[in-house]
């Protein structure tokens, strides 16, 4: 299993101790509780100077009480976060993630908290971000139910397309790529995620045909939406593996295996799982017929994480691991190195092409 922490350097990690065999028959999805979600964010630039600025962010939870929170936004003018207080703030490209500190994670209904940070800017423009999400919910200043009407009368939901869930008991053809978006119980359904992940997979499909003359088969629907059994914080904070980098994606993978009777490795399908959950230390990776990715990849696919070429290149890279390729030892122009950042201006070497075509999943390509 390979990983890419914040996509800055590439590592190899052992997975055998964490991945178990087939879990037998699939089990039913747990019923999710009715809840209301909503939030309001005030972002202000408190001071600004040549090359630097200080910003303050106030977060108000308008929905049901939260035991932990993650706020996300993207910058449009190349701003960077350099130092933060009252939250753990990380940045990957234009996408920024702020996670509560140990002492301000609980937010009651209408409860507020705030944090601040120093950052860098281009000395030309420093616009305020136009959109924020709190635990996966877009902050609009109003509330929306996550799963349907609550007791006492009808409620209003934003228009969505019906969830792209595969009918119970059905499975797609073998030797295809199965793709899943696992939605925790406290994350609102958002059609941008299955649509966006499907688009990333279609672009990767196109790229593999361009490079290999063959490509993999996707299913209909491309993305199977899987209702998780737990809230977002459970996936983020339940230890699973020897470091917190893997907790979210291993928790997701093992739940998918249990629910859908999957294996690792699985000779029937290559499995791609993405989850809308991510702690400050979370990552993802690929190997042995699997790709397992956390919240920033799901957000990126949904169009929330900046330049789409980055997410296309990342998926091409992780699928390469799923097909059996190791990381390149240097930035060599191939997508198995940091050159995937340059997508689409990156290409498999002839040796990599041969290894994919002759590898354990080469027969999946046609």
pLDDT in tens, 317-337: 999 999 999 999 888 999 999
- If one counts every other C-beta atom within 10 angstroms of the C-beta of residue 128, the result is 12
> 154, 159, 167: which is closest to 189 by C-alpha?
159
One-character DSSP codes across 278-314 = --TT---EEETTEEEE-HHHHHHHTT-SS-HHHHHHH
State the DSSP H helix or E strand holding residue 222, giving kind and residue range, or none if neither. strand 218-227
CA distance to 38, 52, 126, 314, 320, per residue, from 1 (Å): 37, 39, 39, 15, 11
Task: Provide the pLDDT for residue 165.
Answer: 53
Closest Cα partner for 87 from 133, 129, 121, 118? 118
Q: Is the pTM of this model over 0.95?
A: no
Q: What is the pLDDT of residue 242?
A: 83
Q: 293 with 256: CB under 8 angstroms?
A: no
Rg (CA), the chain: 21
Tell which residue, 359, 166, 341, has the closest CA to residue 270: 359
- Name the nearest CA neighbour of 301 among 317, 284, 314: 314
For position 2, what pLDDT does the model report? 55
| Nearest by Cα to 305 from 339, 274, 272 | 274
Predicted local confidence at residue 149, as pLDDT: 35
Ranges of residues in the chain whose predicted pLDDT is under 70 = 1-37, 142-169
């Amino acid at each position: 299993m390979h990983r890419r922490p914040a996509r800055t350097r590439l590592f190899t990690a052992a997975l055998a101790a964490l991945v178990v065999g087939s879990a037998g028959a699939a089990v039913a999805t747990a019923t999710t509780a009715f809840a209301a979600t909503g939030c309001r964010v005030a972002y202000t630039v408190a001071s600004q100077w040549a090359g630097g600025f200080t910003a303050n962010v106030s977060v108000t939870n308008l929905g049901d009480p939260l035991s932990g929170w993650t706020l996300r936004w993207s910058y449009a003018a190349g701003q960077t976060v350099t130092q933060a207080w009252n939250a753990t703030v990380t940045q990957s490209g234009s996408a920024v993630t702020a996670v509560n500190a140990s002492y301000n994670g609980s937010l009651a209904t209408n409860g507020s908290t705030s944090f601040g940070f120093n950052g860098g800017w281009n000395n030309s423009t420093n616009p305020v971000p136009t959109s924020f999400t709190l635990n996966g919910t877009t902050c609009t200043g109003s509330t929306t139910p996550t799963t349907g009407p609550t007791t006492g009368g009808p409620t209003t939901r934003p228009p969505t397309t019906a969830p792209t869930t595969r009918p119970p008991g059905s499975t797609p053809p073998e030797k295809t790529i199965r793709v899943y978006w696992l939605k925790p119980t406290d994350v609102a359904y958002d059609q941008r995620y299955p649509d966006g992940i499907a688009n990333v997979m279609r672009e990767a499909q196109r790229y593999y045909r361009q490079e290999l003359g063959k490509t993999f088969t996707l299913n209909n629907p491309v993305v199977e939406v899987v209702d998780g059994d737990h809230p977002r914080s459970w996936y983020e904070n339940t230890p699973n593996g020897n470091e917190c980098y893997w907790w979210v994606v291993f928790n997701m993978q093992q739940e998918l295996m249990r629910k859908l009777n999957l294996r690792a490795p699985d000779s029937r399908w290559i499995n791609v799982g993405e989850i809308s959950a991510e702690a400050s230390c979370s990552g993802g990776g690929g190997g042995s017929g699997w790709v397992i990715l956390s919240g920033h990849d799901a957000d990126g696919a949904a169009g929330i994480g900046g330049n789409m070429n980055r997410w296309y290149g990342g998926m091409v890279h992780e699928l390469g691991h799923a097909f059996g390729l190791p990381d390149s030892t240097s930035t060599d122009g191939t997508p198995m190195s940091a050159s995937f950042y340059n997508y689409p201006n990156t290409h498999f070497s002839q040796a990599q092409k041969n290894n994919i075509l002759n590898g354990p999943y080469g027969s999946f390509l046609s």
